[in-house]
Chains A and B, each alone.
Chain A
Amino acid sequence: MKLLQCPVNGIRPLSEFSYGGEFRTMPDPDSCTDQQWAAYVHYRSGAPGYKKEWWYHMPSGTWFIAERNTITDKVSRTYLFPKREVAV
């Protein structure tokens, strides 16, 4: 199974992690339209390529972000939020 690097605890098997969905920035709820808000809540991009994802290392309770190429399934880097990069 795949390995993933927690920025704090190092490289671990995927079974130690929980996926937290795509990393997205919320539009400003006060100024966006209903359509824009609904798209944010319900639509996801299915296009292949680099995605930023939330991942959670369960034993240590660490949330972090991974940048993953969804075609090759390779993670290029992982870092804590806000963006402090740890090269993989």
Chain B
Amino acid sequence: MSSRLTTQSTEWIQRDKPFSFSYEGQQVTAFEGDTISSALWANGIKVLGRSFKYHRARGILTLANHDVNALMTDGIDTNIRADVWPVQADMQLTAVNTTGGVIKDRSQFIDKISPLLPVGFYYKAFHTPRRFFPFWEDKIRKAAGLGEVNFNYPRIPKPKQHAHCDVLIIGAGIAGLSAAISVAEQGLSVIIVDENAKAGGSLTYDMATDSVSQLTTLLSAVESYSKIRLITNAYAAGYYADHLVPIVETTGITKVRAKALIVASGAFEQPPVFRNNDLPGVMMGSAAQRLIYRYAVKPFDKGVVVTANDYGYRTALDLLAAGVDVLAVIDMRREGSSSPLVTELKSKQVAVHKASCVYEVIASKQKLGVSEVVICPYDELMAEADTKNKIRLKCDGVAMSAGWAPAAALLYQAGTKMRFDNTVQQFVPAELPEGVFAAGKVNGIFELDQRQLDGQRAAAEALNYLGKSVATVEVKQHQGISPSHAYPVVNHPKGKNFVDFDEDIQVKDFINAAKEGFDNIELMKRFTTVGMGPSQGKHSNMNAIRILARIRDLPVEKIGTTTARPFFHPTPIGHLGGRGFHPHRYTAIHEWHIENGGIMTAAGLWMRPSYYLPAGSQLTAQQAMQQEAMAVRTKAGMIDNSTLGKIEVYGPDAAAFLERVYTGKFAKQKVGQYRIAMLLDEAGVMVDDGLACRLAEDRFYLTTSTTNSAMVYRQLQREVQISGLSVSLANLTGVKAAMTIAGPASADILSQLTTVDLSANAFPTGSVVETKVADVECLLLRVAFVAEQAFEIHLPAAAGLYVWNQLMQAGALFGLMAYGTDAQRLLRLEMGHHLIGHDTDGLTNPFEAHAEPLIAMDKAFFTGQRSLKIIAKKPLNKTLVNFVLDSDFAGDLPNECNLVIDNGDIAGRITSIAYSPYLKRVIGIAFVPPEKRQTGSRFEIRNDAGDLIAATVIQSPTELAKSA
């Protein structure tokens, strides 16, 4: 049976665009512009969901996304909010949280056993006997939660955008629209957002005045200003520092940065609390109005309006105009109302009962709707009904109003101090942060004409704040009847008078929580879970505060509010992810690695080959790596080292600067030489090491590790300023490519491409020269990190691939192989070299790494020197050593971080360990007590299985190789 009304001039639906969809297996007709709930209601379908805990049948409550009675799934998206989600052709929807469908839900028995499930019951039940807990846990997990996630959802990226404006206005009701016009009149840019499908706020459903024409006037004014960008179907998710507000639409998030913010977000209508106020057919007055004026749907056929403010009288007239048989208006206030609407209603044969309440709603068959209401005289001070005098009225719906709570979440998040205003019985802003303004109902202004002025006032304040001098606007504070009632609660011995519809919290739950001692608003929230459901307290927090105030016999302002946190509505994680920017750095040689089977891994931001598996290779990762390392030991290998940090240090004080920052001496370093540059922090901890090449009296070329290049450059830049020395820096990390060619054949290979005499006499380790390789100008060094014979080349990146290819060609006959970072790690271990940040940690000082030769304590100053003087006075308590496992060792390798055990005590740990095919032994580096540092000392490693493995300290693996 259709509840669709004839065309309303205000309607949002497009009757020329009908279609159908299915709900719970039933075909339903709808119009473009309907929401899922409005279409269902128009078709007489009123059971839209089952409540979270008790599985009670639920219908429309707020129709404003202030409750989640109607949560549905289409198989892909879960928890679709049917009240506000536009219905589309061929949607196939079912309610979430049911077993066997929304009507037949087998879990509805829980409602009958609800006395066994008081608030917080799960804290007390289920944990004993302990052996049954897994059983209960499984049951509870299945029962809890709402929709089901479909893991095969289509991945649709929702890129994030940034937007900028002078003034951002939240809410396009009368206050917001008026503010927008005032701002645009002064030539500033405005973005105004509204979560509804169309702008207008309550002007689209509250017909108390000439709403329609007022709205038309405002909207055409807004349209006339190109500087106003109106975005509907978008909500402001939260407030972030310096007026950053993310706006969420179905297509994604726009992060708006505004110079000033006006919050004109309105207020949430609040429910009166009485028994069975949650049955399908019981709804807020503004929900009934939205149904009528936006969707042309009759809320119910025959019913009553219960009100604790004047709003219900307006609603009653709207219902009558929509053809509803309004039996009575029930006013919970002792004095009732002096509104002229009372007379109008009485003239239309609507009974008006003051000092009365709906004591309870009687459910229809299977509790799927309303069959009767029970009306009693009501004492609003005691919140008690006189049950000796009952009037029963048969009906199928109730519209209810009790007042408003400000939609102030963003104001709270911005740091606004709110105060409770007794004239309007709501919290209002008392102290706003700089650049943040509030207008309209959220500001406690309820008269229509005053709301328009309040929007203009807030705009004037914002304009003045932004430096545009404009006249202030006077707004009258609220006078007369409070739009909100102080305590719209009807006690009932059998309960089921709901405060929070998301979480099934009733009045006695608060009383019980307080009895248990949870009588502070934050504790009350967590124990009862009020305000913790998907609506986050929009329709429930204010009543919860009122009830707790009454229990504690305190004024509301002494109870306070809980913290409002983003997001205003739950926001899809995909939106938060956006497109995702994940920068990577690539060397000039990258394509060669790819073409030759490089297995690339991220080394910080850089992509580097760990090892190579050329097409057709049958090797494992381990085998590939070992093959590459063997090539370096027996023939030659080459690695792309372009990722190394490279810094040019130049100026008259270049050497002095290096002496100040690094531990070593550089003043007398000759041009054409390089020295190790070790960097400490102020605590004397090892931070990084690299090479300092002297290219001229006043010019050094410094390398750093890959990981630390950005940090070291930044730190050096700061040191330049602090030191006041005459020195400058240039970061050449991305400007130069670098490669190391290593192994017995490396000199022979390289000689084909350069005229430099590479013999050990002419060009010993520690030498650097500016020369050409393959006719490209470069820096050439003889190094010894991975092998005894090795050369490092630094050259302009754009020529990097060319020179790499030339070397590969030249090396082909010698068996030159590329090697990756895995092999490099093994090779340096075979050479006995530790790696800072791998073998050392955030506390390791150079004494523990036997780096004394690199420290020139006799210098006037270097970073970390003073700390080293202190550390040197204390005994050393650990030291790094190279070790080897016994030649008969078999089984799984111990791991890095396995402990060194001495007489049952922890004495150190492994920092590096690997099997060396070249040495045919397991080698590594470990921290051991200083007394074990002598070559030949024995110690034990405890592996993950708990076995003790014997190890011997060696000078270095190369010594081992020679002695073998």
Contact = CB atoms under 8 A, between A and B. Distances in A.
A–B contact at 8 Å CB threshold (below): yes
Interface of A: 1-3, 13, 18, 20, 26, 29, 32, 34, 37-38, 40-42, 54, 56, 61, 63, 73, 81-82
Given A63-B721, A81-B722, A18 B714 contact: yes
A2 B240 CA distance: 8
Contact of B718 (A2, A3, A32, A63): A63
B241 A56 contact: no
A29 B242 contact: no
A41 B683 contact: yes
B866 interface: yes
A34 B717 contact: no
B866 A37 contact: yes
Interface of A is mostly: mixed
Contacts of B867: 37, 41
A53 B244 CA distance: 24
A1 B714 CA distance: 24
A26 B867 CA distance: 13
Nearest to B722: A81
Given A1-B240, A1-B242, A37 B870 contact: yes
B241 A1 contact: yes
B714 A29 contact: no
13 contacts: A1-B240, A13-B257, A18-B714, A20-B718, A29-B861, A32-B866, A37-B867, A56-B718, A61-B714, A63-B718, A73-B241, A81-B721, A82-B721
B77 interface: no
B858 to A, nearest CB: 13
Interface string B849-888: 0000000000001000111001000000000000000000
Which 7 residue pairs spanning A and B have beta carbons closest together?
Answer: A29-B866, A2-B241, A3-B242, A81-B721, A41-B683, A63-B718, A34-B870
Contacts of A42: 683
A73 B870 CA distance: 37
Contact of A61 (B240, B683, B717): B717
B735 to A, nearest CB: 14
A27 B436 CA distance: 44
Contacts of A81: 721-722
A18 B718 CA distance: 13
A56 B710 CA distance: 12
A63 B861 CA distance: 23
Contacts of A26: 682
Contact of A1 (B244, B731, B866, B870): B244
A47 B38 CA distance: 57
A63 to B, nearest CB: 5
A72 to B, nearest CB: 9
Contacts, number: 43
Contacts of A20: 714, 718
Contacts of B244: 1
B717 A63 contact: yes
Interface in B697-736: 714, 717-718, 721-722, 731
A18 B713 CA distance: 13
B567 to A, nearest CB: 16
Nearest to B715: A20
Contacts of A2: 241-242
- Report which residue of A20, A32, A41, A56 has the largest number of chain B beta carbons within 10 angstroms of its beta carbon: A41
A41 B379 CA distance: 70
B363 to A, nearest CB: 51
A14 to B, nearest CB: 8
Contacts of B866: 29, 32, 37
A2 B718 CA distance: 24
Nearest to A4: B242
Contacts of B241: 1-3, 73
A61 B714 CA distance: 8
Contacts of A40: 682
A26 B864 CA distance: 12
Contacts of A73: 241
A31 B436 CA distance: 52
Nearest to B863: A26
A56 B721 CA distance: 13
- Report which residue of B683, B722, B731, B865 has the largest number of chain A beta carbons within 10 angstroms of its beta carbon: B722
Given A40-B682, A56-B714, A81-B721, 12 more contacts: A1-B241, A2-B241, A2-B242, A3-B241, A20-B718, A29-B865, A29-B866, A37-B867, A38-B870, A41-B682, A41-B867, A56-B718
Interface in B212-259: 240-242, 244, 257
Contacts of A29: 861, 865-866
A18 B722 CA distance: 18
A56 B257 CA distance: 22
A9 to B, nearest CB: 15
Contacts of A18: 714
Nearest to A81: B721
A1 B244 CA distance: 6
A34 B718 CA distance: 25
- Report which residue of A18, A26, A42, A63 has the largest number of chain B beta carbons within 10 angstroms of its beta carbon: A63
Nearest to B870: A34
Nearest to B242: A3
Nearest to B720: A63
A38 B714 CA distance: 24
A41 B871 CA distance: 13
Interface string B274-310: 0000000000000000000000000000000000000
- Report which residue of B242, B244, B717, B865 has the largest number of chain A beta carbons within 10 angstroms of its beta carbon: B242
A82 B723 CA distance: 11
Nearest to A20: B718
B270 to A, nearest CB: 34
A56 B867 CA distance: 26
Nearest to A29: B866
Interface string B716-758: 0110011000000001000000000000000000000000000
Contacts of B242: 1-3
A11 B98 CA distance: 53
A52 to B, nearest CB: 14
B105 to A, nearest CB: 45
A26 B731 CA distance: 27
A38 B866 CA distance: 9
Contacts of B731: 61
A73 B717 CA distance: 27
A57 B346 CA distance: 71
Contacts of A82: 721
Contacts of B722: 81
Interface in B406-435: none
Contacts of B257: 3, 13
